[in-house]
């Protein structure tokens, strides 16, 4: 049984809805189609095909919720809601990826709204978001929905308080120098945690 679909305000004949467990391979195919710049923005650094294969498998196994923009049976954009880790104070984390041909068409905002609704349905109070300093589109979208971002070690990190009502005015973004942003090629915290988990290691507290 499919999740409730959103069709209003979307390009073409696309819909936004949650992927079923059987449809999770569509996330992998979407991530593999990302162009090099989009892939770098999504993972804040280098991510080859084998990494993406393992990442998608982990999302399928750990209960990650994927809310996707689907057109003609293909996922072209995805919002990920990852369950909180085991460490004290861990928050559920969110991530987004949008293929170039559907950018600037309102897809990201619709995905964000549905993801927040899903997080509230699950009873989460706060969400964590981490994005590369060079990913201005993602930072602007997060800011639009009330994320308070800070810049540190090549990434913008912040949280969204779900106990508050919808954001009506954008919060100021943290300024990041262009030369610094272009130099950021390391994985973000989410990628490192994933890699450590894949190799059976535990991140130091």
**Per-residue model confidence as pLDDT tens digits over 31-52:** 999 999 889 888 888 899 999 9
Cα dihedral sign, 54-55-60-61: positive
pLDDT at 115: 95
CB atoms within 10 A of CB 54: 15
SS3 78: strand
Domain boundaries, the chain: 15-198
End-to-end CA distance of the chain: 41
Question: In this predicted model, what pLDDT tens digit does every residue of 129-158 receive, in sequence order?
Answer: 887 767 777 778 878 888 777 766 667 788
The closest of 101, 108, 26, 114 to 67, measured between CA atoms, is: 114
Q: Under CATH, what is the fold of the domain 15-198?
A: Aminopeptidase (3.40.630)
Secondary structure E strands in the chain: 15-18, 65-71, 74-82, 93-98, 126-132, 148-152, 155-161
Q: Are 22 and 77 in contact (CB under 8 A)?
A: no
pLDDT at 202 over 90: no
Q: What is the pLDDT of residues 84-110, one digit of tens each?
A: 988 888 999 999 999 999 999 999 999
Q: What is the per-residue pLDDT for 63?
A: 93
């Amino acid at each position: 049984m499919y999740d409730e679909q959103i069709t209003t305000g979307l390009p073409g004949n696309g819909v936004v809805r949650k992927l079923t467990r059987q449809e999770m391979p569509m996330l992998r195919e979407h991530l593999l189609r990302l162009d090099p710049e989009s892939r770098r923005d999504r993972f804040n650094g280098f991510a080859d095909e084998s990494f993406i294969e393992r990442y998608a498998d982990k999302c399928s196994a750990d209960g990650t919720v994927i809310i996707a923009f689907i057109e003609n049976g293909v996922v072209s954009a995805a919002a990920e809601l990852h369950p909180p880790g085991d460490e004290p104070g861990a928050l559920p984390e969110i991530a987004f990826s949008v293929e170039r041909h559907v950018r600037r068409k309102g897809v990201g905002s619709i995905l964000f709204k549905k993801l927040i609704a899903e997080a509230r349905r699950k009873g989460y109070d706060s969400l964590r978001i981490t994005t590369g300093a060079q990913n201005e589109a993602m930072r602007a979208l997060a800011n639009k929905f009330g994320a308070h971002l800070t810049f540190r070690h090549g990434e913008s990190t912040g949280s969204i308080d779900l106990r508050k009502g919808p954001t009506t005015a954008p919060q100021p973004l943290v300024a990041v120098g262009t030369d610094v942003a272009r130099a950021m090629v390391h994985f973000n915290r989410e990628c490192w945690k994933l890699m450590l988990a894949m190799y059976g290691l535990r991140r130091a507290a």
